[in-house]
Amino acid sequence: TDGLRKIYNQNIPKSLAMTKLAHWFKEVEEADFKSFSTLRKTIMNHYRDILNYFHQRSTNAAAESFNAKIKNFRMQLRGVKDRTFFLFRLTKLFA
């Protein structure tokens, strides 16, 4: 929601982020949106990791993007028998 986006776009300390996320979480629970049940569970399970973003303001988005590229590349080359050549091509394309 827009409220969650506003929290992440602010440069605030971790303690304040925890309070704001708790308020947002409570609003979502009270609204009883069925579509937010998965998001709610994810936030509950990863609350500490989510809050760590506000400590360094860094994510692993670059690593996730690189993993997606490797998976896509592997799908295109199904049946590759020469693993050494596959890894060579991978490093030439993405390094």
Residue ranges of the domains in the chain? 2-56, 61-94
> What is residue 91's predicted lDDT score, i.e. its pLDDT?
83
For residue 77, CA distances in Å to 18, 68, 82, 91 come to 45, 14, 11, 15
Condensed to tens digits (0 to 9), the pLDDT of residues 46-78 reads 888 888 888 777 777 888 888 888 788 777 777
Cβ–Cβ < 8 Å for 49, 58: no
> What is residue 1's predicted lDDT score, i.e. its pLDDT?
55
> What is residue 55's predicted lDDT score, i.e. its pLDDT?
78
Total count of residues recorded for the chain: 95
